[in-house]
Amino acid sequence: MGFAKKEYEFLSEIGLSSENLGCYVNGKLKANGPVVSSVNPANNQTIAKVVEGSIEDYEEGMKACSEAAQIWMQVPAPKRGEIVRQIGDALRDKLQQLGRLVSLEMGKILPEGIGEVQEIIDMCDFAVGLSRQLNGSIIPSERPNHMMFETWNPLGIVGVITAFNFPCAVLGWNACIALVCGNCVVWKGAPTTPLITIAMTKIVGEVLEKNNLPGAIFTAFCGGAEIGQAIAKDKRIHLVSFTGSSKVGLMVQKTVNERCGKCLLELSGNNAIIVMDDADIKLAVRSVLFAAVGTAGQRCTTCRRLILHESIYQTFLDQLVEVYKQVKIGDPLEKGTLLGPLHTPTSQKNYEQGIEKIKSQGGKILTGGSVIESEGNFVQPTIVEISPDADVVQEELFAPVLHVMKFKTFEEAIKINNSVPQGLSSSIFTGKPEIIFKWIGPLGSDCGIVNVNIPTNGAEIGGAFGGEKATGGGREAGSDSWKQYMRRSTCTINYGNELPLAQGINFG
């Protein structure tokens, strides 16, 4: 059966059709749950149908995954890295099609869609190198004829629950690392981006099949809260990585903690850019535009608060409002579009309610502030002048709404930056070394990402990604994030004939 629209026909190049099975269980596509529609947010029309997974599908998948884990963890790490390298190459072959699908189904503009898939490819490259560097430490022992060291072993199975805004990149942050660390992966993609989940899974599955490995090493489900709750409760899953709202993340954490599992949380952000009086205004304006408008304000690292020094406040705002008015809004697949739709009609309604709340708390709309009447979920990029003390500033409105406020001293700017419950990303624009080093120091930003003269968003994969406070404290992607996906053991070997005890204890 063909697609309803000619422009959707490219989806057949990545194994999709007008009707799709939404689970990858024991190396086969199957599904016995409800049928849902994948919807294009630019016009709210159906792209294709997907059969979601049932709890029975989940149980079958987990049984096979548990068996595959015993095989996969015994494969040498560099060999596991070779499989991930092949996954990266397979993604390269379909980069344009996958990027186009991300843009079509999620709503972000095409360059961002392609960039998201490239991010997974980059993670594959990173993980390949990492597969030869999962090193432990040699620790000097105080006891003669004893050797003490650390070893790292796989956890077993890692569960990954991802959100709509980065429907495949976050999988890459987790799965690439988890796989080279020797873990099987169970993925539940976002319910509103099932085609991306299926297309990605098919590519991974083909690589496993080509290498005569169990397909259950990578198990995937399209589905809603029922599947997510099953993952959180499942004692067979040693680590659950969850990306989403702080509210749902806390529920997941509570469930996982009750069974003494490990949890890695990437939750809400309420990110600020501070612009000092010596800042490069042109550079800062361009950065704020990307940080606040990119992905229609639906990144966890989106800039939601702009903190301007009083001496440059009006000059900066005048320039920013002018560039906002030039932003091209429209079909995310069209060349030149900078602002696509919000992901769902509910997101659009939340934007409307958020604007009303802002106005009721004294916020002044400088530009934007309205829904755009169309078939899609389009809204105007919005700048709001508001007090940092307004309650609404404490909240994350997942839309292109920027709260602007002014400050007099650097210390005041730091206080405003740190005054919200979330602690993901932050940035300051200045050329003064004394300001820069205070900003990144113990009395500076309290966020997990602390930037200088760049936007709050667009993080590279080489660093650990994550935040503090209500953002959840998790770290994914680069640096030493891999340690969360492994079990650390301290080993002491006595190769002598005596039994000296630590701390000089003499026992009998």
- Catalytically active residues, by annotation: 266
Query: Phi, psi (5° rounding) for residue 42?
Result: -75, -20
Q: How long a stretch of residues is the chain?
A: 508
Residue 13: CB atoms within 10 Å:
14
Strand order in the sheet with 486-494: 138-139, 146-154, 486-494
Q: Are 470 and 268 in contact (CB under 8 A)?
A: yes
> What span, in angstroms and rounded, lies between the C-alpha atoms of 398 and 113?
18
DSSP 496: S
Strands 364-367 and 303-309, sheet pairing: unpaired
Helix (H, G, I), strand (E, B) or coil at 35: strand
Which tokens go with 67?
């068996």
Q: Are 295 and 261 in contact (CB under 8 A)?
A: no
Q: Are 307 and 275 in contact (CB under 8 A)?
A: yes
Q: Which of 47, 48, 23, 19 is nearest to 33 (CA)?
A: 23
Q: Are 183 and 488 in contact (CB under 8 A)?
A: no
> What span, in angstroms and rounded, lies between the C-alpha atoms of 196 and 202?
10
